[in-house]
């Protein structure tokens, strides 16, 4: 029987975030119809979505003052999902997805698995990592609706061109029972590129020596369109906010390239970045653990190389 698969599309300033295309590629399977759920008008997104095999775009319309209310978003989405008889819901395991998907699963009384990197929709099997990546789990799910959070950048996007139609869904008139969003905004100056979604991350550790040197790293990151990460030492020293910590007790990241500056590569740091596509390390100590756990390394002083690299990128 044909299954309806729903994909919640995450936007950034009205544009489809790159990580959505890998998620759509993962959700494509035999005997399925792909529905994309978009908050707001979807006319300018149609071409891109249909080039990845979406056949129906559900444009969920909310009152303007409710657009940033996660309770109302979840309620509107679950109503739209039910109206279109969706049996599997995909969303991204991003900061926003981690807030939204559990709410949707709770409303639908559905099983939820976050951080998936593979699925088998015929058998309802999902694969995810557990215990900071120490084990891989294959989980069999049962339920009228399943909710899956997909690890950003884990799947290479592959086109599958077709045609899609846009259907509007009125999500206005929903209440959030005492939950009111007063204000939203970026939490720090480095929040422009999210760590979990970044294709390139430059991360610094104790070897950066102070917070001002992280400003050097931020300037270099800007040239590479990269996010800035940090080791726990850098966070505990007060050089950067906790939101930048990568590792067992920080963010789990999955970039294509991870540039590690002046960090030793502890087990706890690795727990957060070991699925990176390529790891490049710069360290003054050639015996640091990271040097034998990376693709390329340079034995050098990070504080000398970073300004030089930034200059080269600027002029290049
Ligand atoms: C329960 C628990 C959870 C933890 N969770 C995390 C976590 O989530 N994330 C995390 O990162 N850590 C975590 N830690 C801490 C972890 O064990 C390490 O202490 C930490 O990762 C080390 O950070 P670092 O690599 O910056 O510092 P160090 O281990 O001190 O390494 C600094 C490195 O910089 C190099 N260096 C020095 N100067 C320069 C220079 N000028 N140029 C280039 N290289 C230079 C040195 O050779 C050295 O290799 C956790 C620890 C515990 C016990």
Which tokens sit at 249? 């007790």
Q: Using most ligand atoms within 8 A of CB, pick from 208, 233, 250, 292 the residue to mutate for ligand 1.
A: 233
Q: What is the extent of the structural domain holding 30?
A: 3-170
Is residue 189 one of the residues assigned to a domain? Answer: no
Examine the domain organization and report whether 56 and 22 are in the same domain: yes
Question: How far is residue 89's CA from residue 114's CA, in Å, rounded to a whole number?
Answer: 12
Say which CATH number the domain at 39 has.
3.40.50.620
Question: Whose CA is closest to atom 30 on ligand 1?
Answer: 206
Q: What pLDDT is stored for residue 54 in this prediction?
A: 98
Q: What pLDDT is stored for residue 222 in this prediction?
A: 94
* Domains held by the chain: number: 2
Examine the domain organization and report whether 35 and 102 are in the same domain: yes
Is residue 159 one of the residues assigned to a domain? Answer: yes
Examine the domain organization and report whether 41 and 142 are in the same domain: yes
Question: How far is residue 253's CA from residue 269's CA, in Å, rounded to a whole number?
Answer: 11
Examine the domain organization and report whether 100 and 201 are in the same domain: no
Examine the domain organization and report whether 66 and 202 are in the same domain: no
For ligand 1, the distance from its centroid to the CA atom of residue 137, given in whole angstroms, is: 28
Q: What pLDDT is stored for residue 192 in this prediction?
A: 65
Question: How far is residue 86's CA from residue 71's CA, in Å, rounded to a whole number?
Answer: 20
Of 155, 170, 185, which closes a domain? 170
- Evaluate: CB of 210 within 6 angstroms of ligand 1: no
Examine the domain organization and report whether 42 and 90 are in the same domain: yes
Q: What pLDDT is stored for residue 175 in this prediction?
A: 86
Q: What pLDDT is stored for residue 186 in this prediction?
A: 64
Examine the domain organization and report whether 261 and 296 are in the same domain: yes
Is residue 184 one of the residues assigned to a domain? Answer: no
Q: What pLDDT is stored for residue 88 in this prediction?
A: 98
Is residue 103 one of the residues assigned to a domain? Answer: yes
Is residue 182 one of the residues assigned to a domain? Answer: no
Q: What pLDDT is stored for residue 41 in this prediction?
A: 94
Query: Per residue, what are the HEC states of the chain?
Result: CCEEEEEECCEECCEECCHHHHHHHHHCCCCEEEEEEEECCCHHHHHHHHCCCCCEEEEEECCHHHCCCHHHHHHHHHHHHHHCCCCEEEEECCHHHHHHHHHHHHHHCCCEEEEEEEEECCCCEEEEEECCCCEEEEEECCCCCEEEEECCCCCCCCCCCCCCEEEEEECCCCCCCCCCCCCCCCCCCCCCCCHHHCCEEEEECHHHCCHHHHHHHHHHHHHHCCEEEECHHHHHCCCCCHHHEECCCCECCCCCEEEEECCCCCHHHHHHHCCCCEEEEEECCCCCHHHHCCCEEEECCHHHHHHHHHHHHHHC
Burial class (CB in 10 A: 0-12, 13-18, 19+), 59: buried
- Evaluate: CB of 86 within 6 angstroms of ligand 1: no
For ligand 1, the distance from its centroid to the CA atom of residue 269, given in whole angstroms, is: 7
- Evaluate: CB of 231 within 6 angstroms of ligand 1: yes
For ligand 1, the distance from its centroid to the CA atom of residue 232, given in whole angstroms, is: 7
Examine the domain organization and report whether 147 and 245 are in the same domain: no
Which residues of the chain are modeled with pLDDT < 70?
186-192
Ligand 1 atom with the shortest distance to the CA of 285:
47
- Evaluate: CB of 302 within 6 angstroms of ligand 1: yes
Examine the domain organization and report whether 153 and 300 are in the same domain: no
Examine the domain organization and report whether 134 and 212 are in the same domain: no
For ligand 1, the distance from its centroid to the CA atom of residue 149, given in whole angstroms, is: 30
- Evaluate: CB of 229 within 6 angstroms of ligand 1: no
Ligand 1 atom with the shortest distance to the CA of 305:
42
Examine the domain organization and report whether 160 and 305 are in the same domain: no
- Evaluate: CB of 288 within 6 angstroms of ligand 1: yes
Q: What pLDDT is stored for residue 253 in this prediction?
A: 92
Examine the domain organization and report whether 161 and 257 are in the same domain: no
């Amino acid at each position: 029987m044909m299954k309806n698969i729903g994909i919640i599309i995450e936007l950034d300033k009205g544009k489809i975030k790159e990580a959505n295309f890998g998620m759509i590629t993962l959700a494509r399977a035999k005997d399925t119809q792909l529905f994309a759920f978009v908050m707001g008008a979807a006319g300018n997104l149609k071409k891109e979505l249909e080039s990845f095999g979406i056949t129906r775009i559900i444009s969920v319309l909310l009152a303007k003052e409710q657009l940033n209310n996660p309770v109302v978003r979840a309620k509107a989405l679950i109503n739209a999902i039910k109206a279109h008889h969706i049996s599997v819901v995909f969303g991204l395991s991003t900061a926003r997805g981690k807030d939204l998907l559990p709410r949707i699963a709770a409303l639908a009384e559905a099983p939820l698995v976050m951080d998936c990197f593979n699925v088998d929709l015929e058998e309802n099997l999902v694969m995810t990592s557990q215990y900071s990546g120490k084990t891989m789990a294959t989980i069999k799910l049962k339920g009228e609706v399943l909710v899956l959070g997909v690890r950003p950048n884990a799947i290479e996007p592959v086109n599958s061109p077709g045609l899609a139609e846009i259907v509007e869904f009125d999500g206005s008139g929903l209440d959030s029972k005492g939950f009111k969003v007063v204000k939203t905004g970026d939490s720090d100056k480095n929040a422009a590129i999210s760590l979990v979604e970044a294709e390139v991350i430059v991360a610094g550790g104790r070897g950066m020596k102070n917070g001002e040197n992280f400003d050097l790293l931020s300037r270099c990151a800007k040239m590479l369109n990269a996010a800035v990460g940090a080791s726990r030492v850098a966070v505990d020293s007060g050089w950067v906010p906790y939101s930048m910590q990568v590792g067992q007790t920080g963010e789990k990241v999955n970039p294509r390239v991870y540039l590690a500056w002046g960090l030793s590569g502890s087990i706890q740091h690795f727990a957060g970045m070991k699925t990176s596509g390529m790891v490049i390390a710069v360290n003054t100590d050639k015996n640091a653990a990271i040097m034998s756990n990376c693709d390329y390394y340079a034995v050098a002083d990070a504080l000398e190389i970073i300004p030089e690299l930034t200059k080269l990128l600027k002029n290049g």
